[in-house]
Amino acid sequence: MPLPEPRDTIQVLRSLRWPLAAVIGLVFAVLRLFETLFIQGGIDSPLRDTLDPLFWGLLAGVAIWMVLSWAAAQEYRRRSNETAMLSELRRSTIRLEQLYELNQRIASSVTLDEVLDYAITLPARLIGASAAALVLYDEQGHPLLARSVGMSREALQAARASFGLLPSPPDLSRPQLYRHAQSAVVTLPLAEGDDAPVGWIEAYLNDLHLPDERVEEDHLSAESATLLITVAGELAEAVQGSRRRTRAIASVAALEQAIMAERTRIARDLHDGVAQSLAFMRMRIDLWEEWLEHDTQRLSEEFRNFKANLRLQIEELRRAIFALRPFELSQLGFSGAMHRFVDEFADQQGWDLHLDLADLPPDLSPALELAAFRFVQEGLTNAAKHAQASSLTVILRQIDAGLQIIVRDDGIGFNPGEDDNRPSSHLGLRQMRERAAALDGRLTVISRPGAGTELRVWLPLW
Does residue 16 surpass a pLDDT of 90? no
Q: Select the more confidently predicted residue: 319 or 101.
A: 101
Tell me how far apart the 2 most distant CA atoms of the chain are, in Å.
175
Domain annotation covers residue 58: yes
Do 52 and 140 reside in the same domain of the chain? no
Domain annotation covers residue 296: no
Here the CATH number for the domain that contains residue 123 is: 3.30.450.40
Does residue 391 sit in helix, strand or coil?
A: strand
Look at residues 184, 213, 242 and tell me which one is the last residue of a structural domain.
Answer: 242
Look at residues 104, 129, 157 and tell me which one is the last residue of a structural domain.
Answer: 104
Centre a 10 Å sphere on the Cβ of residue 205 and count the other Cβ atoms it contains. 20
Domain annotation covers residue 1: no
pLDDT, tens digit (0-9, with 9 covering 90-100), for 113-163? 888 998 999 898 888 899 999 999 988 889 999 999 999 999 999 999 999
Domain annotation covers residue 293: no
Per DSSP, 174 falls in state S
Vertex 240: Cα angle to 186 and 129 (nearest 5): 20
Phi-psi region of 360 (alpha: psi -120 to 50; beta: other; left: phi over 0): beta
Alpha carbons 256 and 424: distance in angstroms, whole number: 28
Asked if 418 and 432 touch (Cβ cutoff 8 Å), the reply is no
Do 98 and 122 reside in the same domain of the chain? no
Which range, of 172-186, 298-312, 319-333, 390-404, averages the lowest pLDDT?
A: 319-333
Alpha carbons 7 and 9: distance in angstroms, whole number: 5
Domain annotation covers residue 196: yes
Give the pLDDT mean for 280-285. Answer: 74
Helix axes 329-349, 366-382, angle to 10 degrees: 10
pLDDT, tens digit (0-9, with 9 covering 90-100), for 87-99? 777 877 767 787 7
Task: Give one DSSP letter per residue of 87-116, joined into a string.
Answer: HHHHHHHHHHHHHHHHHHHHHH--SHHHHH
Does residue 271 sit in helix, strand or coil?
A: helix
Do 219 and 179 reside in the same domain of the chain? yes
Do 99 and 125 reside in the same domain of the chain? no
Closest by CA to 173, choosing from 154, 161, 151, 190, is 190
> Average per-residue pLDDT in the chain?
78
Do 67 and 147 reside in the same domain of the chain? no
Range of the domain at 339: 329-462
Alpha carbons 27 and 24: distance in angstroms, whole number: 5
Domains: count for the chain:
3
Look at residues 215, 242, 269 and tell me which one is the last residue of a structural domain.
Answer: 242
Domain annotation covers residue 320: no
Alpha carbons 113 and 246: distance in angstroms, whole number: 11
Do 133 and 238 reside in the same domain of the chain? yes
